[in-house]
Structure 1
Protein backbone atom coordinates (compact mmCIF):
# COMPACT_ATOMS: atom_id res chain seq x y z
CA UNK A 1 0.00 0.00 0.00
CA UNK A 2 1.34 3.43 -0.92
CA UNK A 3 1.44 6.15 1.72
CA UNK A 4 -1.66 8.29 2.07
CA UNK A 5 -1.25 12.02 2.81
CA UNK A 6 -2.41 11.35 6.38
CA UNK A 7 0.29 8.75 7.04
CA UNK A 8 2.97 10.80 5.25
CA UNK A 9 2.16 13.80 7.44
CA UNK A 10 2.48 11.68 10.59
CA UNK A 11 5.87 10.28 9.52
CA UNK A 12 7.23 13.81 9.01
CA UNK A 13 6.83 14.40 12.75
CA UNK A 14 9.39 11.71 13.61
CA UNK A 15 12.48 13.54 12.44
CA UNK A 16 15.16 11.52 14.27
CA UNK A 17 13.96 8.02 13.51
CA UNK A 18 15.61 5.50 11.21
CA UNK A 19 13.91 3.81 8.25
CA UNK A 20 13.22 0.67 10.30
CA UNK A 21 11.19 2.54 12.91
CA UNK A 22 9.33 4.50 10.25
CA UNK A 23 8.58 1.25 8.40
CA UNK A 24 7.06 -0.18 11.58
CA UNK A 25 5.03 2.99 12.10
CA UNK A 26 3.72 2.48 8.57
CA UNK A 27 2.88 -1.16 9.38
CA UNK A 28 0.80 0.00 12.34
CA UNK A 29 -0.89 2.78 10.37
CA UNK A 30 -1.49 0.74 7.20
CA UNK A 31 -3.10 -2.33 8.77
CA UNK A 32 -6.78 -3.17 9.15
CA UNK A 33 -9.94 -1.21 8.50
CA UNK A 34 -8.30 2.10 9.38
CA UNK A 35 -5.30 1.61 7.09
CA UNK A 36 -4.13 4.90 5.64
CA UNK A 37 -6.43 7.10 7.74
CA UNK A 38 -3.83 8.07 10.36
CA UNK A 39 -6.09 6.50 13.00
CA UNK A 40 -5.47 3.46 15.20
CA UNK A 41 -7.56 1.00 17.17
CA UNK A 42 -5.47 -1.48 19.15
CA UNK A 43 -6.47 -4.52 21.23
CA UNK A 44 -4.46 -4.70 24.51
CA UNK A 45 -4.64 -7.84 26.61
CA UNK A 46 -2.40 -7.43 29.65
CA UNK A 47 -5.29 -7.45 32.10
CA UNK A 48 -4.78 -11.09 33.12
CA UNK A 49 -1.35 -10.12 34.44
CA UNK A 50 -2.58 -6.86 35.95
CA UNK A 51 -5.90 -7.95 37.49
CA UNK A 52 -5.98 -11.75 37.46
CA UNK A 53 -7.49 -14.31 35.07
CA UNK A 54 -11.00 -14.58 36.51
CA UNK A 55 -11.50 -10.80 36.73
CA UNK A 56 -10.32 -10.51 33.16
CA UNK A 57 -11.76 -13.52 31.34
CA UNK A 58 -14.57 -15.18 33.33
CA UNK A 59 -17.16 -12.90 31.70
CA UNK A 60 -16.17 -14.41 28.33
CA UNK A 61 -14.30 -17.68 29.00
CA UNK A 62 -13.00 -17.88 25.42
CA UNK A 63 -10.57 -15.15 26.54
CA UNK A 64 -8.57 -17.54 28.68
CA UNK A 65 -7.06 -18.78 25.37
CA UNK A 66 -4.42 -16.40 23.91
CA UNK A 67 -5.39 -17.49 20.38
CA UNK A 68 -8.82 -15.95 20.93
CA UNK A 69 -7.35 -12.48 21.26
CA UNK A 70 -5.15 -12.79 18.18
CA UNK A 71 -8.21 -13.90 16.21
CA UNK A 72 -10.41 -11.14 17.62
CA UNK A 73 -7.94 -8.41 16.66
CA UNK A 74 -7.47 -9.86 13.16
CA UNK A 75 -11.17 -10.46 12.47
CA UNK A 76 -12.05 -6.98 13.74
CA UNK A 77 -9.54 -5.41 11.35
CA UNK A 78 -7.59 -3.65 14.10
CA UNK A 79 -4.20 -2.01 13.67
CA UNK A 80 -2.32 -4.04 16.27
CA UNK A 81 -2.47 -6.48 19.18
CA UNK A 82 -0.55 -5.68 22.40
CA UNK A 83 0.21 -8.18 25.15
CA UNK A 84 2.93 -9.39 27.54
CA UNK A 85 5.53 -11.88 26.38
CA UNK A 86 3.75 -15.06 27.49
CA UNK A 87 0.55 -14.33 25.59
CA UNK A 88 2.43 -13.32 22.43
CA UNK A 89 4.62 -16.44 22.61
CA UNK A 90 1.47 -18.58 22.84
CA UNK A 91 0.28 -17.48 19.38
CA UNK A 92 3.28 -15.96 17.65
CA UNK A 93 3.75 -18.80 15.15
CA UNK A 94 0.08 -19.47 14.38
CA UNK A 95 -0.59 -15.80 13.62
CA UNK A 96 2.81 -14.69 12.32
CA UNK A 97 2.54 -11.72 9.97
CA UNK A 98 -1.24 -11.43 10.23
CA UNK A 99 -1.32 -8.37 12.49
CA UNK A 100 1.35 -6.04 13.94
CA UNK A 101 2.31 -7.00 17.49
CA UNK A 102 3.28 -4.80 20.43
CA UNK A 103 5.27 -6.50 23.20
CA UNK A 104 4.22 -5.04 26.57
CA UNK A 105 7.60 -4.98 28.31
CA UNK A 106 6.55 -4.31 31.90
CA UNK A 107 3.65 -5.37 34.08
CA UNK A 108 2.22 -5.03 37.56
CA UNK A 109 -0.21 -7.27 39.44
CA UNK A 110 -3.02 -6.90 41.94
CA UNK A 111 -1.13 -8.74 44.69
CA UNK A 112 1.63 -6.13 44.89
CA UNK A 113 1.45 -3.15 47.23
CA UNK A 114 3.94 -0.91 45.39
CA UNK A 115 2.87 1.35 42.52
CA UNK A 116 5.56 -0.15 40.32
CA UNK A 117 5.99 -2.54 37.39
CA UNK A 118 8.44 -5.36 36.69
CA UNK A 119 10.28 -5.49 33.37
CA UNK A 120 9.09 -8.76 31.81
CA UNK A 121 10.05 -8.37 28.13
CA UNK A 122 13.06 -7.16 26.17
CA UNK A 123 13.88 -5.75 22.75
CA UNK A 124 15.40 -9.10 21.65
CA UNK A 125 12.12 -10.75 22.69
CA UNK A 126 10.18 -8.26 20.54
CA UNK A 127 12.42 -8.90 17.54
CA UNK A 128 12.23 -12.68 18.01
CA UNK A 129 8.43 -12.53 18.04
CA UNK A 130 8.22 -10.30 14.97
CA UNK A 131 6.82 -7.30 16.84
CA UNK A 132 6.50 -3.84 15.35
CA UNK A 133 6.71 -2.09 18.71
CA UNK A 134 7.38 -2.36 22.41
CA UNK A 135 5.00 -1.02 25.05
CA UNK A 136 5.96 0.31 28.46
CA UNK A 137 3.98 1.74 31.40
CA UNK A 138 5.12 4.63 33.54
CA UNK A 139 3.32 5.91 36.64
CA UNK A 140 4.05 9.66 36.86
CA UNK A 141 3.65 10.66 40.51
CA UNK A 142 4.57 7.24 41.89
CA UNK A 143 7.47 6.76 44.28
CA UNK A 144 8.98 4.60 41.54
CA UNK A 145 8.42 6.93 38.57
CA UNK A 146 12.08 7.89 38.15
CA UNK A 147 13.16 4.24 38.17
CA UNK A 148 10.52 3.51 35.54
CA UNK A 149 11.66 6.43 33.42
CA UNK A 150 15.24 5.17 33.59
CA UNK A 151 14.06 1.70 32.50
CA UNK A 152 12.08 3.28 29.68
CA UNK A 153 15.09 5.30 28.53
CA UNK A 154 17.23 2.18 28.24
CA UNK A 155 14.55 0.12 26.48
CA UNK A 156 13.56 2.96 24.14
CA UNK A 157 17.16 3.58 23.10
CA UNK A 158 17.61 -0.11 22.27
CA UNK A 159 14.21 -0.37 20.54
CA UNK A 160 14.79 2.65 18.32
CA UNK A 161 18.24 1.38 17.35
CA UNK A 162 16.58 -1.90 16.31
CA UNK A 163 13.89 -0.11 14.29
CA UNK A 164 10.99 -0.66 16.67
CA UNK A 165 8.24 1.76 17.65
CA UNK A 166 7.96 2.81 21.32
CA UNK A 167 4.47 2.97 22.86
CA UNK A 168 4.17 4.48 26.35
CA UNK A 169 1.23 3.91 28.70
CA UNK A 170 1.38 7.04 30.91
CA UNK A 171 -0.86 6.51 33.95
CA UNK A 172 -0.45 9.02 36.80
CA UNK A 173 -0.79 7.67 40.31
CA UNK A 174 0.95 8.11 43.63
CA UNK A 175 0.70 9.76 47.05
CA UNK A 176 -0.10 13.24 45.66
CA UNK A 177 -3.08 11.97 43.64
CA UNK A 178 -6.41 10.63 44.77
CA UNK A 179 -8.55 8.54 42.39
CA UNK A 180 -10.15 11.64 40.87
CA UNK A 181 -6.75 13.22 40.37
CA UNK A 182 -5.50 10.31 38.27
CA UNK A 183 -7.84 11.31 35.42
CA UNK A 184 -8.03 15.07 36.02
CA UNK A 185 -7.44 16.94 32.78
CA UNK A 186 -4.33 18.78 33.98
CA UNK A 187 -2.80 15.50 35.17
CA UNK A 188 -3.62 13.61 31.96
CA UNK A 189 -2.14 16.43 29.89
CA UNK A 190 0.98 16.40 32.05
CA UNK A 191 1.25 12.62 31.72
CA UNK A 192 0.97 12.80 27.93
CA UNK A 193 3.62 15.51 27.76
CA UNK A 194 6.00 13.52 29.97
CA UNK A 195 5.61 10.51 27.69
CA UNK A 196 6.40 12.68 24.67
CA UNK A 197 9.45 14.14 26.44
CA UNK A 198 10.59 10.60 27.32
CA UNK A 199 10.73 9.70 23.63
CA UNK A 200 7.45 7.89 22.98
CA UNK A 201 6.32 7.52 19.39
CA UNK A 202 2.80 6.62 20.52
CA UNK A 203 1.29 7.88 23.79
CA UNK A 204 -1.55 6.20 25.64
CA UNK A 205 -3.47 7.99 28.40
CA UNK A 206 -6.89 7.70 30.00
CA UNK A 207 -9.86 9.84 28.93
CA UNK A 208 -9.75 12.97 31.12
CA UNK A 209 -12.43 14.40 33.36
CA UNK A 210 -12.99 18.14 33.87
CA UNK A 211 -11.36 18.04 37.31
CA UNK A 212 -8.22 20.10 37.97
CA UNK A 213 -5.90 18.49 40.50
CA UNK A 214 -2.79 20.62 40.94
CA UNK A 215 -3.47 24.05 42.54
CA UNK A 216 -0.65 25.68 40.55
CA UNK A 217 -2.01 24.29 37.30
CA UNK A 218 -5.60 25.24 38.19
CA UNK A 219 -4.56 28.90 38.41
CA UNK A 220 -3.14 28.76 34.87
CA UNK A 221 -6.13 26.93 33.40
CA UNK A 222 -8.45 29.55 34.86
CA UNK A 223 -6.27 32.56 34.01
CA UNK A 224 -5.71 31.43 30.41
CA UNK A 225 -9.31 30.27 30.03
CA UNK A 226 -8.28 26.84 28.71
CA UNK A 227 -11.44 25.12 27.49
CA UNK A 228 -12.06 21.87 29.37
CA UNK A 229 -15.85 22.05 29.24
CA UNK A 230 -16.38 18.91 27.14
CA UNK A 231 -14.58 15.66 26.47
CA UNK A 232 -13.84 16.88 22.94
CA UNK A 233 -12.21 20.04 24.29
CA UNK A 234 -10.20 18.09 26.88
CA UNK A 235 -8.97 15.65 24.24
CA UNK A 236 -7.96 18.58 22.03
CA UNK A 237 -5.96 20.03 24.94
CA UNK A 238 -4.14 16.73 25.50
CA UNK A 239 -3.37 16.51 21.77
CA UNK A 240 -1.89 20.01 22.13
CA UNK A 241 0.13 18.82 25.13
CA UNK A 242 1.56 15.95 23.03
CA UNK A 243 3.90 18.29 21.14
CA UNK A 244 0.99 20.08 19.45
CA UNK A 245 -0.13 16.85 17.79
CA UNK A 246 3.35 15.83 16.61
CA UNK A 247 3.08 12.57 18.51
CA UNK A 248 0.46 9.86 17.99
CA UNK A 249 -1.99 9.99 20.88
CA UNK A 250 -4.46 7.25 21.75
CA UNK A 251 -6.84 6.83 24.67
CA UNK A 252 -7.69 3.79 26.75
CA UNK A 253 -11.17 2.36 26.91
CA UNK A 254 -11.09 2.14 30.69
CA UNK A 255 -13.14 -0.22 32.82
CA UNK A 256 -16.17 -1.97 31.37
CA UNK A 257 -18.66 0.65 30.17
CA UNK A 258 -22.06 0.48 28.56
CA UNK A 259 -21.91 0.72 24.78
CA UNK A 260 -23.62 4.11 24.55
CA UNK A 261 -21.22 5.92 26.90
CA UNK A 262 -18.19 4.21 25.38
CA UNK A 263 -19.15 5.27 21.85
CA UNK A 264 -19.80 8.82 23.06
CA UNK A 265 -16.24 8.91 24.38
CA UNK A 266 -14.91 7.50 21.11
CA UNK A 267 -16.72 10.23 19.15
CA UNK A 268 -15.21 12.88 21.43
CA UNK A 269 -11.73 11.37 20.97
CA UNK A 270 -12.18 11.53 17.20
CA UNK A 271 -13.61 15.07 17.27
CA UNK A 272 -10.80 16.25 19.56
CA UNK A 273 -8.18 15.26 17.00
CA UNK A 274 -6.58 12.27 18.73
CA UNK A 275 -5.34 9.31 16.71
CA UNK A 276 -7.46 6.55 18.17
CA UNK A 277 -8.21 4.18 21.00
CA UNK A 278 -6.87 1.08 22.67
CA UNK A 279 -9.85 -1.06 23.67
CA UNK A 280 -9.33 -4.08 25.93
CA UNK A 281 -11.89 -5.18 28.52
CA UNK A 282 -14.70 -3.35 26.75
CA UNK A 283 -14.20 -5.69 23.80
CA UNK A 284 -12.80 -9.05 24.91
CA UNK A 285 -15.14 -9.39 27.90
CA UNK A 286 -18.10 -9.51 25.51
CA UNK A 287 -19.09 -12.54 23.43
CA UNK A 288 -17.17 -12.50 20.17
CA UNK A 289 -20.12 -11.52 17.99
CA UNK A 290 -20.85 -8.54 20.25
CA UNK A 291 -17.17 -7.61 20.45
CA UNK A 292 -16.82 -7.60 16.67
CA UNK A 293 -19.95 -5.46 16.31
CA UNK A 294 -18.64 -2.96 18.88
CA UNK A 295 -15.19 -2.78 17.32
CA UNK A 296 -16.80 -2.28 13.91
CA UNK A 297 -18.73 0.70 15.27
CA UNK A 298 -15.56 2.13 16.80
CA UNK A 299 -13.54 1.82 13.59
CA UNK A 300 -16.41 3.33 11.63
CA UNK A 301 -16.37 6.37 13.95
CA UNK A 302 -12.65 6.89 13.41
CA UNK A 303 -13.08 6.51 9.65
CA UNK A 304 -15.45 9.46 9.75
Structure 2
Protein backbone atom coordinates (compact mmCIF):
# COMPACT_ATOMS: atom_id res chain seq x y z
CA UNK A 1 0.00 0.00 0.00
CA UNK A 2 1.39 3.39 -0.99
CA UNK A 3 2.28 5.69 1.88
CA UNK A 4 -0.31 8.32 0.88
CA UNK A 5 -3.11 5.76 0.81
CA UNK A 6 -2.01 4.30 4.15
CA UNK A 7 -1.80 7.73 5.78
CA UNK A 8 -5.29 8.60 4.62
CA UNK A 9 -6.70 5.19 5.58
CA UNK A 10 -5.42 5.86 9.10
CA UNK A 11 -7.45 9.10 9.14
CA UNK A 12 -10.72 7.27 8.46
CA UNK A 13 -10.13 4.33 10.81
CA UNK A 14 -8.89 3.50 14.30
CA UNK A 15 -6.51 0.55 14.38
CA UNK A 16 -8.05 -0.70 11.15
CA UNK A 17 -11.64 -0.49 12.44
CA UNK A 18 -14.10 1.91 10.87
CA UNK A 19 -17.29 3.66 11.89
CA UNK A 20 -18.37 5.82 8.97
CA UNK A 21 -21.52 7.96 8.94
CA UNK A 22 -22.64 8.71 5.36
CA UNK A 23 -24.71 11.86 4.96
CA UNK A 24 -24.87 12.20 1.19
CA UNK A 25 -28.62 11.60 1.28
CA UNK A 26 -29.47 15.27 0.68
CA UNK A 27 -29.29 14.63 -3.06
CA UNK A 28 -31.22 11.37 -2.83
CA UNK A 29 -34.07 12.26 -0.49
CA UNK A 30 -33.61 15.95 0.31
CA UNK A 31 -32.86 17.87 3.50
CA UNK A 32 -34.45 15.28 5.76
CA UNK A 33 -34.22 14.99 9.55
CA UNK A 34 -30.62 15.20 10.67
CA UNK A 35 -29.45 16.88 7.48
CA UNK A 36 -31.11 20.28 7.78
CA UNK A 37 -28.61 21.34 10.43
CA UNK A 38 -25.91 18.99 9.24
CA UNK A 39 -23.27 20.89 11.19
CA UNK A 40 -24.82 19.82 14.50
CA UNK A 41 -25.19 16.22 13.31
CA UNK A 42 -21.57 16.03 12.18
CA UNK A 43 -20.45 17.40 15.53
CA UNK A 44 -22.64 14.88 17.37
CA UNK A 45 -21.57 11.74 15.50
CA UNK A 46 -17.87 12.55 15.60
CA UNK A 47 -18.09 13.26 19.33
CA UNK A 48 -19.93 9.93 19.62
CA UNK A 49 -17.05 7.95 18.14
CA UNK A 50 -17.40 8.03 14.35
CA UNK A 51 -14.06 7.74 12.57
CA UNK A 52 -15.30 9.59 9.51
CA UNK A 53 -18.27 11.27 7.87
CA UNK A 54 -19.23 11.22 4.21
CA UNK A 55 -20.94 13.87 2.07
CA UNK A 56 -21.03 15.21 -1.45
CA UNK A 57 -18.29 17.73 -2.33
CA UNK A 58 -20.52 20.80 -2.03
CA UNK A 59 -20.88 20.39 1.73
CA UNK A 60 -17.15 20.35 2.49
CA UNK A 61 -17.20 23.82 4.00
CA UNK A 62 -19.94 22.71 6.41
CA UNK A 63 -18.09 19.53 7.34
CA UNK A 64 -14.56 20.63 8.24
CA UNK A 65 -15.33 23.04 11.11
CA UNK A 66 -17.54 20.45 12.81
CA UNK A 67 -15.89 17.05 12.41
CA UNK A 68 -13.71 17.27 15.51
CA UNK A 69 -10.56 16.16 13.73
CA UNK A 70 -12.10 13.00 12.29
CA UNK A 71 -11.86 11.77 8.70
CA UNK A 72 -13.79 13.01 5.69
CA UNK A 73 -14.97 11.01 2.67
CA UNK A 74 -16.34 12.69 -0.47
CA UNK A 75 -18.93 10.71 -2.41
CA UNK A 76 -18.68 10.87 -6.20
CA UNK A 77 -22.04 9.77 -7.61
CA UNK A 78 -25.73 10.10 -6.89
CA UNK A 79 -29.35 9.74 -7.97
CA UNK A 80 -32.67 10.96 -6.57
CA UNK A 81 -35.91 9.36 -5.48
CA UNK A 82 -37.69 11.83 -7.75
CA UNK A 83 -35.93 10.57 -10.87
CA UNK A 84 -36.98 7.66 -13.09
CA UNK A 85 -34.58 5.12 -11.54
CA UNK A 86 -32.82 5.58 -8.21
CA UNK A 87 -30.37 2.79 -9.14
CA UNK A 88 -29.04 4.97 -11.96
CA UNK A 89 -26.17 6.60 -10.07
CA UNK A 90 -24.38 9.28 -12.10
CA UNK A 91 -21.03 10.95 -11.46
CA UNK A 92 -21.18 14.12 -9.36
CA UNK A 93 -17.49 14.73 -8.73
CA UNK A 94 -13.92 13.65 -9.34
CA UNK A 95 -10.97 12.59 -7.21
CA UNK A 96 -9.27 15.91 -7.94
CA UNK A 97 -12.32 17.80 -6.69
CA UNK A 98 -12.29 15.65 -3.56
CA UNK A 99 -8.61 16.50 -3.01
CA UNK A 100 -9.47 20.18 -3.31
CA UNK A 101 -12.33 19.67 -0.85
CA UNK A 102 -9.93 18.28 1.76
CA UNK A 103 -11.08 14.67 1.58
CA UNK A 104 -9.24 11.74 3.14
CA UNK A 105 -10.98 9.25 0.84
CA UNK A 106 -13.53 9.04 -1.96
CA UNK A 107 -16.49 6.71 -2.40
CA UNK A 108 -18.62 5.45 -5.26
CA UNK A 109 -21.93 3.57 -5.26
CA UNK A 110 -22.49 0.62 -7.64
CA UNK A 111 -25.62 -1.46 -8.10
CA UNK A 112 -24.36 -4.86 -9.22
CA UNK A 113 -27.03 -6.68 -11.20
CA UNK A 114 -28.86 -3.53 -12.26
CA UNK A 115 -29.24 -2.29 -15.81
CA UNK A 116 -26.70 0.41 -14.92
CA UNK A 117 -23.95 -1.96 -13.78
CA UNK A 118 -21.79 -1.72 -16.94
CA UNK A 119 -21.45 2.06 -16.80
CA UNK A 120 -20.95 2.05 -13.05
CA UNK A 121 -18.12 -0.46 -13.42
CA UNK A 122 -16.51 1.89 -15.92
CA UNK A 123 -16.96 4.75 -13.46
CA UNK A 124 -15.22 2.77 -10.70
CA UNK A 125 -12.35 1.91 -13.05
CA UNK A 126 -11.84 5.61 -13.78
CA UNK A 127 -12.05 6.58 -10.12
CA UNK A 128 -9.55 3.96 -8.93
CA UNK A 129 -7.12 4.97 -11.68
CA UNK A 130 -7.35 8.65 -10.79
CA UNK A 131 -7.17 7.89 -7.06
CA UNK A 132 -3.85 6.10 -7.51
CA UNK A 133 -2.36 9.31 -8.87
CA UNK A 134 -3.22 11.14 -5.65
CA UNK A 135 -2.70 8.37 -3.09
CA UNK A 136 -6.40 8.55 -2.28
CA UNK A 137 -8.25 5.56 -0.78
CA UNK A 138 -11.40 4.41 -2.59
CA UNK A 139 -14.46 3.10 -0.77
CA UNK A 140 -16.59 1.12 -3.21
CA UNK A 141 -20.21 0.75 -2.12
CA UNK A 142 -21.00 -2.40 -4.09
CA UNK A 143 -24.59 -3.51 -3.57
CA UNK A 144 -26.29 -6.55 -5.08
CA UNK A 145 -29.26 -4.68 -6.46
CA UNK A 146 -31.25 -5.15 -9.63
CA UNK A 147 -34.17 -7.03 -11.22
CA UNK A 148 -34.46 -10.49 -9.68
CA UNK A 149 -31.38 -9.98 -7.48
CA UNK A 150 -31.59 -10.94 -3.80
CA UNK A 151 -29.95 -7.97 -2.06
CA UNK A 152 -29.10 -9.98 1.06
CA UNK A 153 -27.92 -13.28 -0.44
CA UNK A 154 -24.39 -13.96 0.77
CA UNK A 155 -23.21 -15.23 -2.62
CA UNK A 156 -24.41 -12.06 -4.32
CA UNK A 157 -22.82 -9.92 -1.62
CA UNK A 158 -19.54 -11.82 -1.83
CA UNK A 159 -19.53 -11.27 -5.59
CA UNK A 160 -20.23 -7.58 -5.11
CA UNK A 161 -17.34 -6.99 -2.70
CA UNK A 162 -15.00 -9.07 -4.85
CA UNK A 163 -15.71 -6.71 -7.73
CA UNK A 164 -14.60 -3.82 -5.51
CA UNK A 165 -11.25 -5.47 -4.79
CA UNK A 166 -10.71 -6.67 -8.35
CA UNK A 167 -11.12 -3.11 -9.60
CA UNK A 168 -8.67 -1.59 -7.16
CA UNK A 169 -10.85 -0.25 -4.36
CA UNK A 170 -9.34 -0.16 -0.87
CA UNK A 171 -12.55 -0.73 1.10
CA UNK A 172 -15.78 -2.52 0.16
CA UNK A 173 -19.14 -1.64 1.63
CA UNK A 174 -22.17 -3.84 1.15
CA UNK A 175 -25.44 -4.88 2.78
CA UNK A 176 -25.78 -7.33 5.65
CA UNK A 177 -26.85 -10.88 4.86
CA UNK A 178 -28.81 -11.29 8.08
CA UNK A 179 -26.50 -13.36 10.27
CA UNK A 180 -22.84 -13.65 11.15
CA UNK A 181 -22.36 -17.14 9.69
CA UNK A 182 -23.41 -16.17 6.17
CA UNK A 183 -21.71 -12.77 6.35
CA UNK A 184 -18.37 -14.42 7.08
CA UNK A 185 -18.34 -15.71 3.50
CA UNK A 186 -18.71 -12.09 2.36
CA UNK A 187 -15.82 -10.85 4.50
CA UNK A 188 -13.71 -13.84 3.44
CA UNK A 189 -14.28 -13.18 -0.27
CA UNK A 190 -11.71 -10.36 -0.33
CA UNK A 191 -8.40 -9.26 1.14
CA UNK A 192 -9.55 -5.67 1.73
CA UNK A 193 -11.68 -4.37 4.61
CA UNK A 194 -15.41 -5.02 4.30
CA UNK A 195 -17.77 -2.66 6.10
CA UNK A 196 -21.48 -3.26 6.60
CA UNK A 197 -24.11 -0.92 5.20
CA UNK A 198 -26.77 0.12 7.69
CA UNK A 199 -29.73 -0.23 5.34
CA UNK A 200 -33.26 0.77 6.27
CA UNK A 201 -33.56 2.00 9.88
CA UNK A 202 -35.07 -0.43 12.36
CA UNK A 203 -35.05 -0.57 16.16
CA UNK A 204 -31.82 0.37 17.91
CA UNK A 205 -31.42 -3.18 19.22
CA UNK A 206 -31.92 -4.71 15.78
CA UNK A 207 -29.41 -2.37 14.16
CA UNK A 208 -26.84 -3.06 16.87
CA UNK A 209 -27.41 -6.81 16.54
CA UNK A 210 -26.53 -6.43 12.86
CA UNK A 211 -23.38 -4.52 13.78
CA UNK A 212 -22.37 -7.18 16.29
CA UNK A 213 -23.00 -9.92 13.71
CA UNK A 214 -20.97 -8.18 11.03
CA UNK A 215 -18.00 -7.69 13.37
CA UNK A 216 -18.22 -11.32 14.51
CA UNK A 217 -18.13 -12.31 10.84
CA UNK A 218 -14.87 -10.47 10.25
CA UNK A 219 -16.08 -7.12 8.96
CA UNK A 220 -13.80 -4.15 9.66
CA UNK A 221 -16.65 -1.88 10.64
CA UNK A 222 -19.83 -0.25 9.47
CA UNK A 223 -21.12 2.63 7.36
CA UNK A 224 -24.53 3.60 8.78
CA UNK A 225 -26.46 6.64 7.60
CA UNK A 226 -30.17 7.08 8.27
CA UNK A 227 -30.27 4.90 11.39
CA UNK A 228 -27.74 7.30 12.91
CA UNK A 229 -28.31 10.79 11.50
CA UNK A 230 -32.12 10.47 11.67
CA UNK A 231 -31.94 9.11 15.23
CA UNK A 232 -33.39 11.24 18.03
CA UNK A 233 -29.91 11.13 19.59
CA UNK A 234 -27.26 10.67 16.84
CA UNK A 235 -24.42 10.96 19.33
CA UNK A 236 -25.77 8.17 21.52
CA UNK A 237 -26.44 5.85 18.59
CA UNK A 238 -22.93 6.46 17.26
CA UNK A 239 -21.51 5.78 20.70
CA UNK A 240 -23.32 2.44 20.82
CA UNK A 241 -22.12 1.43 17.36
CA UNK A 242 -18.57 2.54 18.16
CA UNK A 243 -18.51 0.57 21.40
CA UNK A 244 -19.19 -2.62 19.42
CA UNK A 245 -16.81 -1.88 16.56
CA UNK A 246 -13.95 -0.44 18.59
CA UNK A 247 -14.36 -1.94 22.06
CA UNK A 248 -15.87 -5.32 21.21
CA UNK A 249 -18.91 -4.76 23.40
CA UNK A 250 -22.04 -6.86 23.17
CA UNK A 251 -25.37 -5.38 22.13
CA UNK A 252 -26.77 -4.84 25.62
CA UNK A 253 -23.51 -3.41 26.90
CA UNK A 254 -23.42 -1.01 23.95
CA UNK A 255 -26.97 0.11 24.63
CA UNK A 256 -26.17 0.61 28.31
CA UNK A 257 -23.05 2.62 27.54
CA UNK A 258 -25.01 4.92 25.25
CA UNK A 259 -28.14 5.10 27.38
CA UNK A 260 -30.38 3.52 24.73
CA UNK A 261 -33.47 1.59 25.78
CA UNK A 262 -35.12 0.22 22.63
TM-score, length basis structure 1: 0.77
More deviation, 63-72/148-157:
63-72
Asked if the contact 1:84/1:104 (under 8 Å) is kept, the reply is yes
* Other structure's SS at 1:241 match: coil
- Alignment-derived partner of residue 45 in structure 2: 73
Shift of residue 292, structure 1, vs aligned partner: 1.6
Residue from 179, 183, 187 that aligns with 1:235: 183
The superposition leaves residues 31-81 of structure 1 with CA deviations (integer Å, 9 ceiling, x where unpaired) of xxxx32x2111110112211233xx32xx5xx3023123212321121111
Which of 66, 76, 81 is the aligned partner of 1:110? Answer: 81
Deviation digits for residues 190-248 of structure 1 (CA, Å, limit 9, x no counterpart): 11111111111010000014xxxxxxxxxxxxxxxxxxxxx111121101112xxx201
Shift of 1:95: 4.0
* 8 Å contact from structure 1 (residues 184, 208) kept in 2: yes
Q: In the alignment, is the contact (CA less than 8 A) between 1:96 and 1:130 conserved in 2?
A: no
Measured in 2, the distance between the counterparts of 1:40 and 1:91 equals: 18
Alpha-carbon deviation of 1:97?
Answer: 7.5
Rounded Cα–Cα distance in structure 1 between residues aligned with 2:197 and 2:146: 19
Structure 1 residues 100-151: Cα deviation after superposition (integer angstroms, max 9, x where no partner): 1100000111122233111111112111121110000111111221111111
CA distance in 1, matches of 2:29, 2:181: 32
Aligned to 1:300: 243
Shift in alpha-carbon separation, 1:47–1:248, aligned structure 2, 3 A: same
Alignment CA distance shift 1:190-1:137 (3 Å): same
**1:158 corresponds to which residue?**
130
Q: CA RMSD in A?
A: 1.7
Equivalent pairs counted in the alignment come to 246
Separation (CA, whole Å) in 2 of partners of 1:73 and 1:297:
11
Query: Which residue number corresponds to residue 173 of structure 2?
Result: 204
Paired residue for 2:29, among 39, 48, 51?
51
For structure 1, which runs of at least 5 residues remain unmatched after alignment?
1-16, 30-34, 210-230
- State the distance in 1 between where 2:125 and 2:203 align: 37
**8 Å Cα contact 1:201/1:248 also seen in 2:** yes
Aligned-partner SS, 2:243: helix
**SS of corresponding position for 1:24:** helix
CA 120–89 in structure 1, closer or farther in 2 if over 3 Å, else same: farther
Shift of 1:96: 7.4
Whole-angstrom CA distance in 1 between matches of 2:67 and 2:131: 20
CA distance in 1, matches of 2:61, 2:118: 30
CA separation in 1, counterparts of 2:196 and 2:217? 11
> 1:101 aligns to what SS in structure 2?
strand
8 Å Cα contact 2:111/2:145 also seen in 1: yes
Structure 2 runs not aligned, ≥5 long: 249-262
Call closer, same or farther: CA 1:73–1:125 in 2, change over 3 Å: farther
Q: Which has the larger radius of gyration?
A: 1
Q: How far apart are 1:162 and its partner, in Å? A: 0.2
Match of residue 127 from structure 1:
99
